[in-house]
Amino acid sequence: MLSRLLLILGLLFATAAAKAEVPAELVQSFDQYFQQQMQEQGIPGASYAIVHKNQIVAAKGYGVREVGSKLPVDAYTVFRIASVSKTFAGGSDFVLPSRYDSDAPMSAATINQVLTLTYKAAQKDVKSLAKFGPHDLRRTASTLLHEAGYNTDWIEKCLAHEQKGVRAVYNKAEYREQRTAMLQDWADM
């Protein structure tokens, strides 16, 4: 299904490149195919966005957010795809840890390594750059979301911090809708 969707999108944009906008019939054709594939594959809910020249041409959502849920999917629904992305990214033969050597160790391409090398390059060029690591991204998110007025429980849940003591025994809330809205706001900041 993914390869067909990518092919249709490729054709959509190849056709649109010569024109100022994407033809409505191509968008409609993709939309029909998208719905058909959802039904054939038994997908409970999905959304798509077609972007051309940094403009959203079409965005729609269909179905429900989770099996058994009544919460509908719309164009703005945020999905947590996590390791599912490996099926179209990390598991691909075209996504390699090294540009020239597929047997090169992955450790040289980790975010820690990239941040360390960036820091060292800045120091070498005598540029002011504070030492920065992956955990700083979490700290920055927490700080900015708190400053934006979001509930601490929502933020801690997003950071996968576990509650302890009596509070952990009694508070089993997931705050799914609130966290979804909060993370969308974070993405838009």
pLDDT in tens, 78-111: 877 665 665 555 555 555 455 566 666 656 556 6
What is the domain range of residue 163? 134-188
Beta bridge pairs of residue 48: 60
Is the residue at 124 inside a domain?
no
Residue 114 domain-assigned (yes or no):
no
Q: What number is the average pLDDT over the span 45-58? A: 85
- The helix (run of H) or strand (run of E) holding residue 108 is none
103 domain residue, yes or no:
no
Does 85 reside within a domain? no
Single-letter amino acid, residue 140: T
pLDDT: is 126 or 102 the higher one? 126
Please tell me whether residues 73 and 138 are part of one structural domain.
no
Which pLDDT does position 63 carry in this prediction?
A: 93
Q: Is residue 101 part of a domain?
A: no
Q: For the chain, what is the domain count?
A: 2
Amino acid at 175: Y
